[in-house]
Amino acid sequence: MLTAFLNAWKIKELRNRLLFTALMIVLIRFASNIPCPGVDPLALKEYINSMSAANNSGLMGMIDLFSGGALTHFALGALGIMPYITASIIMQLLVPVLPALEKMQREGASGRQKISQYTRYLTIVVCLIQGTMVAAAMVNPSKIGLPQLPPGQTLFHGSASCFVPVTVLVITCTTMIFTWLGEQMTERGIGNGVSLIITINIVSRLPHSIIELVQMAMAGRTPDGTTFRPVQLLLLLVVFCAVTAATILLSQGYRRIPIQMVRKTVGKQMMGGSTYMPLKVNFANVMPIIFAGAILMLPEYLFQFMAQRTGAKVWITLATTFRQDGAGYLIAYGVLILLFCFFWVANQFNPIQIADNLKKEGAYIPGISPGQPTADFLDGAMTRVTAGGAVFLLVLALFPMFLYNSFKIPFMVAQFFGGTSLLIMVGVTLDTMSQLESHLTMRHYEGFLKSGRLRSRNGN
């Protein structure tokens, strides 16, 4: 592997791409550590330290994770690239539903360019909504269910009427710049720019988590007072390796559907023969976890709001049940992940269209008649594959919560043992290494593996 990296440095084009990607990452991390105008850093730090670790869950915790802690510091990149991710997901869900968007997608490069432009417009709308939420939270955190500020204390300087619009404008502009930088990284760098930004922001929190684990082992207890010995640190290291290996299997796993193509001569080349269609085990990737976490943010805040207004015990009980460590939250989280796995496949995987394309190209699945029988076979095969992948994904998603609830491991540390963080890190790393290997093998250099080759998340 070291030889492959050294070979990559010898190729001028690849070296320039790597340097450009590194420069963009430095700029993004720099913007993620500069506070927004008007923020009182000392008051904000004191308030964040007083909050419970459970507040790291939900949509705000997800935004803070994807922004590399920029939301915690209320930096220029407080929203990170999350609004663009949200807009992209919405557009992906709307394309099969709206005939006009589906027609654009079939137009080829020009149609996809129009959809990308609409995604950018939608990103601005999402930025304005989320920016207003976080700016209002700085003025009055209790509006979104966070602990109330002590009387007379504020997290910003100046008046709220000036702070809120300026903050929304600044973080919206920063997010759009991040989006542009991500596109430039895709075009002129290595890997998918937007995915790399998210991954680097997640990895930026890893050193702090490692330091916290070592401090816990030296102190002999967790922040909650639970016993934590050095042997447990070694066990966690073994568990991390096992979970990472399982995540790689989930990301790379697929079922091969044999395809037989009619042989025909095109020019002087003979086309056709036997091939296969890969059906991914984890077709939805990390989307079900993101959807479930975002939706389950609402019940807790809603019940807390009702409990503050009415004081009724039923609302207090429901708010406690739907906290991150509550039984209601875990059950609903698991059910939603399973449902969203099948929903995403039903929305994005079109067996009828695939069957029609195979028929037009003169290809067929051995033993299955072309047309509707092929569509039914693909639908059944994908359903069975998705069922296994959904259960596997559910276990990975719940494992960090198991560590947090059962062993009192801080949530910021536990999130690296599965769930969104690990899936994104593994998937993006595999994609980037796959691109690097393609550049190396194209120039007759040895890749990362002596036999076989790395596969991206798309199966290529």
Q: What is the CATH number of the domain that holds 58?
A: 1.10.3370.10
Within a domain: 424? no
Q: Is the pLDDT of residue 55 over 60?
A: no
Per-residue tokens: 147: 């602990």
Closest by Cα among 150, 153, 63, 197 to 55: 63
- Residues 6 or more apart whose CB falls under 8 angstroms from that of 357 comprise none
pLDDT of residue 53: 44
pLDDT > 70 in the chain, percent: 87
How large is the average pLDDT for residues 48-76?
63
Within a domain: 49? yes
* pLDDT tens profile 82-122: 888 888 888 888 887 888 888 888 887 788 888 889 999 99
pLDDT of residue 344: 85
* pLDDT tens profile 331-385: 888 898 999 899 888 888 889 989 998 888 888 888 888 889 999 999 999 999 9
Within a domain: 339? no
* pLDDT tens profile 308-345: 778 788 888 887 888 777 788 888 888 989 998 998 88
Domain that holds residue 117: 13-193
CA distance between the termini of the chain: 20
3-state secondary structure of 258: strand
Burial pattern 211-243, b for ≥16 Cβ within 10 A else e, equals ebbeebbeeeebeeeeebeeebeeebeeeeeeb
Closest by Cα among 35, 43, 37 to 155: 43
Closest by Cα among 185, 196, 197 to 16: 185
Within a domain: 454? no
Which of 18-32, 237-251, 446-460 has the least mean pLDDT? 446-460
* Residue 32 CA from chain centroid, whole number: 18
Report the half-sphere exposure of 432 (CA within 13 A, side-chain side). Answer: 25
Name the more confident of 298 and 346: 346
Query: DSSP letters along 198-228, please?
Result: HHHHHHTTHHHHHHHHHHHHHHTB-TTS-B-
Within a domain: 114? yes
pLDDT of residue 54: 44
Long-range contacts made by residues 48-54, C-beta under 8 angstroms, separation at least 24?
48/72, 50/147, 51/146, 51/147, 53/223, 53/404, 53/410, 53/411, 53/412, 54/323, 54/324, 54/325, 54/411
Name the more confident of 201 and 150: 201
Q: Give CA separation, 335 vs 146, 317, 327, 415, 423, in Å.
A: 26, 21, 12, 20, 19
Within a domain: 39? yes
Q: How many domains does the chain have?
A: 1
Pairing of strands 363-364, 269-280: unpaired
How large is the average pLDDT for residues 222-234?
83
How large is the average pLDDT for residues 394-409?
85
Q: Is the pLDDT of residue 144 over 70?
A: no
pLDDT of residue 381: 92
**Is the CA virtual torsion 223, 226, 231, 234 positive or negative?**
negative
pLDDT of residue 1: 60
Name the more confident of 111 and 166: 166
Within a domain: 153? yes
The pTM of this model reads 0.78
Within a domain: 35? yes
pLDDT of residue 197: 87
Q: Give CA separation, 278 vs 247, 248, 256, 301, 317, in Å.
A: 18, 16, 5, 42, 47
